[in-house]
Chain A
Amino acid sequence: MKQILVCGGPGCLAKGSREVFEAFKRKIEQNKLHVELQLKETGCQGLCQKGPLVTVKPGNLLYTEVKSEDVGEILDKIIKSDSNYDRALKKDEISFYKYQTKIALRNVGEIDPENISDYIERGGYEALKKTLHEMTPEEVIDTVEKSGLRGRGGGGFPTGKKWRYCRNADGPVRYVICNGDEGDPGAFMDRSIMEGDPHSVIEGMVIGAYAVGSRQGYIYVREEYPFAVKRLKKAIEDSRKMGFLGKNIAGSGFDFDIEINRGGGAFVCGESTALMRSIEGNVGEPRAKYIHSVERGLWDMPTVLNNVETWANIPPIINKGWEWYLSFGTKTSPGTKAFSLVGKVKNTGLIEVPMGTTLRDIIFKIGGGMIEGRSFKAVQTGGPSGGCLPAEKLDLQVDFDQLTKEGSMMGSGGMIVMDDRTCMVDVARYFVNFLLDESCGKCVPCREGLKRMSEIMGRITHGLGSEKDLEVLEEICWTMKEASLCALGKSAPNPVLSTIKFFREEYLKHINEKTCPSGVCKHLTTYYIDENICKGCHVCVKVCPTGAISGEIKQPHFIEEDKCIKCGSCFDACKFNAVQIRGMKIDD
């Protein structure tokens, strides 16, 4: 039977994939095609930029940018098995998919996440049965430890070790938690897993619970993801019905159940101890690290907390063994990592690659390079705790240790590509203000440090900075790294330090020359039209919202500075690159 998989991921939904799904449904009903065609809505199929996406199996043919009007024609080709149809791309051959290896995302985009049989058909819940019937908890921990799996939530702590500590801790009950808070702005891997393959998280958690001896688990989902909550709820109900959750799981005598907690929209609640306070019904403030959560976590009981992607990696490791897992990735970071590749690249979307893949391969092979006409400037990883790496670092092999060595972070997997129209000072300021807003305020270095940093960054971007400010910034950074209570404050300096390190020149232009070469900081931006290049085509005049541009057709145009609001519309609109930003070119 042929399958038509319509993507229902966040990107495609925003582009109208629901209408495409409905159109297929109507057409299939009208023409009574149920017998030969199966229609499904899946989670994120990855290549969000080209959505709405539709995949047809067998053959793994991909249709991009599908509109409901196209459905009739596509259906026709599918029925005739016309493989020469030029709209059908061979998924296994296009570079976006070719260089990926999927472990955590193995089912995302391939199955109907609301249908447990789809999951089971692809080997789901086999690992659970194997664990409960054939393995001792020690053996499970051993396998996970030997696989070298490190936590995918940011810190990269060895998962097996965490489980062992928890198992060995004293306590009448133990808890396991799934961290689905995904606070890193610009990241949606965890969302895609929770929405696209919720059972993989549940199965991983049951295995973990068995290993550490827990009977109650929690999934903490951020409040911006109502869809993920809905999917997880359904998945939990279904797996209870099938006997994979609840009492006497799969006839093994082991009991375990899961509850869902919705977050309240606080970034700091992604931090493990703050998250536990939040599940307890309190304000989410972190606590000092010397009390270990594996010994005294949720309600002061031994607790294992892992990230969504970490949990999703567990079933395949159990099924295929640790030796198999070790065959992917690097020595210190085995396996694969999911990233959300976004920003100024051509192919934005959800990807998974072996650890150790270079930034260059990710951005230029999978990502297809920069959006047209723009040049690469930096890539940001690790969200507000991470840093920006410049072009010289493109050959860096991405894993936990390499990124940390360069002053960035793996983080949860957001990868934001920036071009020459992105101001690095503004990016650093953005993260400082983000964290200032999100700091819980419990400890002084973080609360006050961020406030002062924000003021200084504000001054620099307004053209009021001095070189002395850079020194002060660095000093505040080092103090925060040393003295903050939780990792939010400790890692907050990374965006600032990494941009000062790699893009010092840009800071100095803001400070000494009072220009923002990327044209982002409005107070320091001047647009002008190069009269030698301008063809007088009048396009810029049409897009300017304030009427600041004038000139006769076929004559050079000019911009009246006091009317210009520096929106950049003319810059983007000019086909001849005649609109320029003062300071952007070296010779200015």
Chain B
Amino acid sequence: MKADFKVVDRIIESYGCKKNSLIQILQDVQEKYNYLPRKFVERVARKLGVSLSKAYAVATFYKAFSLNPRGENLIRVCMGTACHIKGAPEVVEEFSKILKIKPGETTEDLKYSLETVNCVGACAMAPVVVVNNEYYGNMTPGKVRDILKKKETRKG
């Protein structure tokens, strides 16, 4: 715990403890822990001298932040226009069906989180799915199982 606070403090200091770096600091904390543990949001707020309400306003306004733990694998299904008209809704549905979670949720074993995003900038390959930082283009519901299988075998 103490060690964790040290990590967070170091991030805060790397931005010179400036109030206007609030978003950047929270981004770095999230990158480190995969989500924003509440105690760290509070720590950041106190150290920067911004009110808790402002820190939470920022942490909840921006979609990139998650106040809940996220899974080991982050599956992001693009729901941008190009992907939408090429069948992205069916792709999300298939992920939902197999993982038994809705977009925005995490599986109980903390293995997978499913999210939808508005365009990842690979629209020419629509529909696109990004798993962690790997891009999968021309997705179909049929390919969903293949991706998940690949993740399983890589772990084992």
A: which residues have CB within 8 A of B? Answer: 10-11, 13-15, 48-49, 182-188, 191, 223-226, 261-267, 278-284, 340-344, 348-350, 380, 383, 414, 416, 418, 422, 427, 430-431, 434, 438, 440, 545, 567
Q: A280-B20, A281-B22 are in contact. Are A264 and B61 (CB under 8 A)?
A: yes
Q: Which residues of B contact A15 (CB under 8 A)?
A: 125, 137
Tell me if B23 and A184 are in contact (CB < 8 A).
no
**Given pairs A264-B62, A281-B58, A348-B123, 16 additional interface contacts (CB within 8 A):** A10-B121, A11-B122, A14-B122, A183-B118, A185-B81, A186-B81, A188-B119, A188-B122, A191-B121, A264-B27, A266-B62, A281-B19, A343-B86, A344-B86, A438-B118, A567-B90
Q: Please provide the chain B residues from 105 to 123 with a CB less than 8 Å away from any CB of chain A in the complex.
A: 117-123
Q: Which of A263, A342, A416, A431 has the most CB of B within 10 A?
A: A342
Q: A185-B118, A416-B82, A427-B85 are in contact. Are A265 and B63 (CB under 8 A)?
A: yes
Q: Which residues of A contact B22 (CB under 8 A)?
A: 281
A341 to B81, CA, bound (A): 12
Tell me if B125 and A187 are in contact (CB < 8 A).
no
Q: Which residues of B contact A350 (CB under 8 A)?
A: 124
Tell me if B81 and A261 are in contact (CB < 8 A).
no
A427 to B81, CA, bound (A): 8
A11 to B82, CA, bound (A): 13
Tell me if B81 and A414 are in contact (CB < 8 A).
yes
Q: Which residues of B contact A223 (CB under 8 A)?
A: 27, 64
Closest to A183 in B: B118
Tell me if A343 and B85 are in contact (CB < 8 A).
yes
Tell me if A261 and B24 are in contact (CB < 8 A).
yes
CB pairs A–B below 8 angstroms (9 shown): A10-B135, A11-B137, A261-B24, A267-B118, A279-B20, A342-B126, A348-B123, A349-B124, A434-B118
Q: Which residues of B contact A183 (CB under 8 A)?
A: 118-119
Does B84 sit within 8 A of A, measured CB to CB? yes
Tell me if A224 and B125 are in contact (CB < 8 A).
no
Does B133 sit within 8 A of A, measured CB to CB? yes
Q: Please provide the chain B residues from 48 to 78 with a CB less than 8 Å away from any CB of chain A in the complex.
A: 54, 57-58, 61-65
Q: A14-B135, A15-B137, A283-B61 are in contact. Are A343 and B117 (CB under 8 A)?
A: no
Residue from the list A13, A266, A344, A440 in contact with B135, Cβ < 8 A: A13
- Shortest beta-carbon distance, B104 to chain A, in Å? 12
Residue from the list A185, A282, A427, A438 in contact with B80, Cβ < 8 A: A185
Does B40 sit within 8 A of A, measured CB to CB? no
Does B8 sit within 8 A of A, measured CB to CB? no
**How many chain B residues touch A (Cβ–Cβ < 8 Å)?**
40
Residue from the list A261, A265, A343, A440 in contact with B64, Cβ < 8 A: A265
A521 to B126, CA, bound (A): 20
Q: Which residues of B contact A261 (CB under 8 A)?
A: 23-24
- Shortest beta-carbon distance, B140 to chain A, in Å? 9
Q: Which residues of A contact B141 (CB under 8 A)?
A: 545, 567
Does B128 sit within 8 A of A, measured CB to CB? yes
A183 to B120, CA, bound (A): 10
Q: Which residues of A contact B14 (CB under 8 A)?
A: none
Tell me if B119 and A264 are in contact (CB < 8 A).
no
B: which residues have CB within 8 A of A? Answer: 19-24, 27, 54, 57-58, 61-65, 79-86, 90, 117-126, 128, 133, 135-137, 141
Q: Which residues of A contact B84 (CB under 8 A)?
A: 185, 427, 430
Q: A264-B65, A281-B22, A567-B90 are in contact. Are A430 and B81 (CB under 8 A)?
A: yes
Tell me if A264 and B63 are in contact (CB < 8 A).
yes
Q: Which residues of A contact B62 (CB under 8 A)?
A: 263-266, 284
Tell me if B124 and A48 are in contact (CB < 8 A).
yes
Closest to A280 in B: B20
Q: Which residues of A contact B82 (CB under 8 A)?
A: 185-186, 342-343, 414, 416
Tell me if A422 and B85 are in contact (CB < 8 A).
yes
Residue from the list B119, B126, B133 in contact with A187, Cβ < 8 A: B119
Tell me if A264 and B81 are in contact (CB < 8 A).
no
A-B pairs, top 3 by smallest CB distance, nearest first, are A264-B62, A185-B80, A48-B124
Tell me if B23 and A186 are in contact (CB < 8 A).
no
Tell me if A187 and B123 are in contact (CB < 8 A).
yes
Tell me if A266 and B90 are in contact (CB < 8 A).
no
- Shortest beta-carbon distance, B74 to chain A, in Å? 12
Tell me if A48 and B125 are in contact (CB < 8 A).
yes
A186 to B126, CA, bound (A): 9
- Shortest beta-carbon distance, A431 to chain B, in Å? 8
Q: Which residues of A contact B122 (CB under 8 A)?
A: 10-11, 13-14, 48, 188
- Shortest beta-carbon distance, A530 to chain B, in Å? 24
Tell me if A281 and B23 are in contact (CB < 8 A).
yes
Tell me if A14 and B133 are in contact (CB < 8 A).
no
Closest to B126 in A: A342
Q: Which residues of A contact B54 (CB under 8 A)?
A: 282
Q: Which residues of A contact B20 (CB under 8 A)?
A: 279-281
Closest to A543 in B: B142
Q: Which of B85, B86, B128 has the most CB of A within 10 A?
A: B85
A349 to B122, CA, bound (A): 9
Q: Which residues of B contact A188 (CB under 8 A)?
A: 119, 121-124
Tell me if A224 and B117 are in contact (CB < 8 A).
yes
- Shortest beta-carbon distance, B146 to chain A, in Å? 15
Q: Which residues of B contact A416 (CB under 8 A)?
A: 81-82, 85
- Shortest beta-carbon distance, A311 to chain B, in Å? 18
Closest to B116 in A: A437
A221 to B81, CA, bound (A): 20
Closest to B19 in A: A281
A280 to B62, CA, bound (A): 14
Closest to B87 in A: A568
- Shortest beta-carbon distance, A407 to chain B, in Å? 17
Tell me if A281 and B81 are in contact (CB < 8 A).
no
- Shortest beta-carbon distance, B95 to chain A, in Å? 15
Q: Which of A11, A191, A431 has the most CB of B within 10 A?
A: A11
Q: A14-B137, A264-B27, A418-B85 are in contact. Are A225 and B63 (CB under 8 A)?
A: no
Residue from the list B86, B119, B124 in contact with A224, Cβ < 8 A: B119
Q: Which residues of A contact B136 (CB under 8 A)?
A: 14
A250 to B99, CA, bound (A): 57
A183 to B118, CA, bound (A): 8
A226 to B130, CA, bound (A): 13
Q: Which residues of B contact A263 (CB under 8 A)?
A: 62, 64
Tell me if A342 and B57 are in contact (CB < 8 A).
no
Q: A15-B125, A223-B64, A343-B86 are in contact. Are A186 and B80 (CB under 8 A)?
A: yes
A223 to B31, CA, bound (A): 12
